[in-house]
Each structure stands twice: as C-alpha cells, then as structure tokens.
Amino acid sequence: MKIKLIILGIITIVFVSCRLTNPGSTNVNEAALIVENLTEELIYLTVEDGSIGAYPEHTVLPYESYSQTWEANDAVFVLNNGQVILRYRTEEGYEENTIIQLTVGFTSYYTIGLSNSILIVSNETNSDAWYTVDSGELNYLFSGEQDGISFGDLNSTIQINLFYSGYHVFSQNIELTIYPFNTQDYEINADAGAAKLINNSLSDIVEVYIAPAEDPYWGENLLGSILEPEVSAYWTVEPGWWDIRVVDEWGAYNDFLDNYISLDNTVFFTFRSTKNDVIEKETIPKIFADDRALKHPSKKVEFKEFSTD
C-alpha cells in the first residue's frame, strides 16, 4: 500500500541505502544499477560512466525506478574500475551526487528517500476516521488507510497536537513528541460502535433520544438540528444495549428498544413514520444531562455528522 505523504515541513531528498544483490537474472558478464525513487517527487538523474559524449538526463517518477547495465569490457570498468557517478536533482532545486561501485555479475540498488521526521497515522477501525495536526486541515482516512505526515528536517524534538475522531472512535486530543530523523506510527483504534439513523419518511426528524436500555430516563434531545428526509445521522456510542426514540415534526415517533451495538460495528435504524401515524406521545421523565449523570450513570454518546449517502 502506498502511503499518502502530507508535508508540514521542508523535505530533504537524500541517499537512503545502497545494496548489492546477485539475482538469477543478472548476467555473469554484466553489472547492473537500479535507482529507486521512493519519494513523492520527480527525480532527474544522470549516470556518468566515463563514456564519450554527453550524458542524458533521465526522469524517474515517484515510486518508480531507473535501470542500466554495462558489459564487463565497457569503459566504466576499463577506465574507472567499475565506478559511476550518479547525479540527481528535484524540481525544487535540491541536488545530490554520489559514487557507486559496480560489480560484474551483481545488481547494485540505490534508493532515494526522505531524510526527515515522519508521523504515520493509520486507521485501524472498520469505518471512516479523520484527524488534524495542530488544528490544521482535516484529513479523512478510510478503513485500513494511512497517511505519512512529514515535519521536515528537525534539529530537536517538537510537540504536536493530534486530534482524531471517527464513526467508531470517540473524539480525542493527544500530544505527541516528534523526534528528528525518525519515523513513528500512531494507530487510530476503535473504542466504540455507531448508530446510524436513516430518515426514510416524508417528514423532518426533530428529536432523537439515545439512552442505555437499562436507564428509565430518555435524557435530552441529541439531534441538535433537524434531520431532513433521505438524510442520515451518526452517533458514536459505547458498546452495549441501547434504546432509541425518534420523533418527527408531526409528533409521530418510533422506538427502537434493546439494540446491541458492538465494538467497531455500525447498527442501522430506519425511521419510516409519516404524519398519518401520529399518536399521542407518552409522558417520559426527562431531566438535564448533568443531573442524569449524577443520578443514573450513563454510557457515552457522541454525535458525529449528517450524511446523504
């Protein structure tokens, strides 16, 4: 899987590694060079091997490679003892050159990568998640997706604020330490499930109550707005048994009772009532959330967003 790189600092393109292999495909009378570009940048390179004439510049696309081979009797081995000069640059003006020792019968690999501090954020939940770094741009991650955030070349450690949330994750703000020239990982793991309410009626939904099944109190309206027809809403909830009451603009309501919502799973609820289904609402004890928390300890519920999917 490719990692999307989000750049927050200055990136330096540098030599990462050089290795020598003897694969079966390497001719015993040839030496081979493969240059790998593991950056998000276009790399322009030339290989100076001592031959006569101008050296062509080759363009290597991100995550692709360039290869070249030499016969044992080529000038590079006769005049330069198997050494070539590799020069490469980026569009931003960074330039680098190095000497590579070739060996007949072997393939030399030269990898161009990033020399900076990177934080890899991965979504390990079964649904979407999202995050920001230091209150910056909101970035979305599908299930199993990951981003690499580059902080450039750091001279010392820095502290960043990582905010993240998701359908199966309660919102959190954490402080992370980023170290110079280091790649570190942070996994977003599920700590909840989700209730998705779909308005399949012709009316606006105006109230939604979500309460633990064992709690006799409905508590407060958790909608905070109106839910129009053909629109959905998500709530992140602790795993457990839940009761849900949905009320439309005409006073019609549906009760969804004794629903188990498990960790890292979404349960769907569809509201189909219309104004022709109006019935007199029951008298349900309702108290403010602060009082409810004191008298009846409750599981956690968090509204996430409206959706038209």
pLDDT-wise least confident of 96-105, 107-116, 161-170:
107-116
Q: Please tell me the distance from the alpha carbon of residue 137 to that of residue 20, in angstroms, as a whole number.
A: 42
For residue 286, the model assigns a pLDDT of 41
Distance of alpha carbon 217 from alpha carbon 7, whole angstroms: 49
Q: Where are the domains of the chain?
A: 4-114, 118-188, 193-307
CATH superfamily name and code, 4-114: Immunoglobulins (2.60.40.10)
Give pLDDT tens digits for 175-208.
Answer: 999 887 677 889 999 999 999 999 999 999 999 9
Q: Residue 77 phi/psi, 5° resolution?
A: -90, -35
Q: What's the rounded mean pLDDT across residues 120-146?
A: 94
CB contact set of 186 (below 8 Å; sequence gap of 6+)? 119, 120, 121, 122, 162, 176
* 181/61 Cα distance (integer angstroms): 24
The per-residue pLDDT for 21 is 60
Q: pLDDT, tens digit, for every residue of 284-306?
A: 444 434 443 333 335 688 887 77
Q: Which residue has the higher pLDDT, 158 or 15?
A: 158
The contacts of residue 119 (CB under 8 Å, 6+ apart) are 133, 148, 149, 151, 160, 162, 176, 178, 183, 184, 185, 186
Q: 258, 262, 222, 218: which is closest to 240 by C-alpha?
A: 262
Residue 283 has pLDDT above 70, yes or no: no
Mean pLDDT of the chain: 81
pLDDT tens digits for 227-274? 999 999 999 999 999 999 999 998 888 889 899 999 999 999 999 875
pTM recorded for the entire structure: 0.62
Are 4-114 and 193-307 in the same CATH fold?
Answer: yes
pLDDT tens figures, 30-84: 889 999 887 777 889 999 988 878 899 999 998 899 999 998 888 777 778 888 9
| Rounded Cα–Cα distance for residues 89 and 58 (Å) | 11
Q: What is the pLDDT of residue 120?
A: 86
Under DSSP, the state recorded for 227 is B
CATH architecture, domain defined by 193-307? Sandwich (2.60)
pLDDT at 89: 86
